Structure 1
Amino acid sequence: MSEELPVIYLARHGETAWSLSGQYTGLTDLPLTGRGERNASRLKERLKEITFARVFTSPLQRAVRTCELAGFKGVAEADHDLVEWDYGEYEGRLSSEIHAQHPDWQLFRDGCPGGESPAQVAARADRVIGRVRKINGNVLIFSSGHFIRVFTVRWIGLEPSVSCAFFMLSTASLSALGYKHDLSHPVIRLWNDDHHVGA
């Protein structure tokens, strides 16, 4: 694999109170917890040797703060397409509560009442992919868990409904997408790396 081919790095934001409790956190603009701040700051060491042509972040504060703590405050550009899934009526709820009412519900297949459908989130991901594929060099993106999963499967040409549920993603983790051989062969190079977080 050519080392000159660009890599798209995906950083999930640090821990929030709702990511800790398991509540669906879409557009609710929660801050990082203390541990979330600590783990986000550890991304700085992990990323310091990599040169980025562009850096983008979701405008939600959990992503912006993670971006700042990772050392990219002065260079990151906010992109509204990078916000987390709009969960509509399921915002702030637990999966167990939703399944008690709708046992067969699946986020990546069904979307959320009053919120976004999988196709709408995929369309946002596709717009971002279209933009970053035109950038000559490595790109770093700060966003949220479900959006990053949709972005990843769209990168390799799959549909969210049949693949996203198989991808686990920890807070303050780093993943990377790229190419095999040439720009016509997109691949996943790294997934859910959080060894920098430590104990």
Structure 2
Amino acid sequence: MPQRNQVVLVRHAETAWSKSGQHTSFTDIPLTENGRRAARELRPILAGWDFSLAVSSPLQRARETAELAGISEGLDLDPGLTEWNYGEYEGITTAEIRKTVPEWTVFSHPCPGGETGAEVATRVDGVLERAREARGPVVLFAHGHVGRVVVCRWLGFEPSAGRHFVLSTGTITVLGWERETPAILRMNTLS
């Protein structure tokens, strides 16, 4: 039977825009002081793992979370983990978008000038292929919406199923196996 890796998915810690609910894809902003503290609190949790591969979005908030959590040596930056491109919705909140598109979610409606769920899934599939080929547990540092697509693709779901999952800032989700079936072992937790 082939080796079955576990993937520890870490959503970056708090930024000013994640705190205010502004959609942040390509805008490269740092963690808040609270976010830096939360990222440091991940260090003892992640120290209990012997990761064979550590991958981060190249954006500052994900890299900074990884570094403060003690994962900097050998950290591979992969644009496949960059946040969903919100296009014209960059920097605005869901409430603002819903003034013109009342039932909008990133999973159900397009982002003008941004990415589709299928485009995000293609990026994520490449990252997960690397994770499955690794020779041990893998840690991924990513963002809220792309992280939810990571969960979906691990489970074999379409990106739109991401609407059913929550990934709070500075939390971990552990993806693994229930016998031969991809499964969520822990989700949106601090332990």
Q: Which amino acid aligns with 1:75?
A: G
CA drift at 1:72: 1.2
**What are the within-5 Å matches in structure 2 for residues 46-65 of structure 1?**
46-65=45-64
Deviation at 1:25, TM superposition (A): 0.6
Bigger mean CA deviation after superposition, 139-148 or 123-132: 123-132
Question: What RMSD, in angstroms, separates the aligned Cα atoms of the two structures?
Answer: 1.4
CA distance in 1, matches of 2:104, 2:170: 28
Q: In structure 2, what is the Cα distance between the partners aligned to 1:127 and 1:111?
A: 22
Q: CA deviation at 1:132?
A: 1.1
The Cα shift of 1:104 comes to 2.9
CA shift, 1:52, in A, is 0.5
Structure 1 alignment gaps of length 5 or more: none
- The 2-side partners of 1:101 and 1:109 are apart by 15
Task: Choose which of 184, 187, 190 in structure 1 pairs with 2:183.
Answer: 187
Q: 2:170 matched to 1:172?
A: yes
Count residues with an aligned counterpart. 190
- How do 1:24-35 and structure 2 match up within 5 A? 24-35=23-34
The corresponding residue for 1:81 is 80
Q: Is the 8 A contact 1:170 1:194 kept in 2?
A: no
Number of the residue aligned with 1:23: 22
Amino acid at match of 1:16: T
- Deviation readout 1:26-62 (Å, 9 max, x if unpaired): 1100100000000001110111111100100100000
User: Retained in 2: the 8 A contact 1:178–1:189?
Assistant: yes
Q: Which runs of 5+ in 2 are unaligned?
A: none
Please give the secondary structure, in 1, of the residue aligned with 2:70. Answer: coil
State the alpha-carbon separation in 2 of the partners of residues 93 and 157 from structure 1.
Answer: 31
Q: Deviations over 1:123-156 (max 9, x none)?
A: 1111111121111200000010100101101111
SS in 1 for 2:125: helix
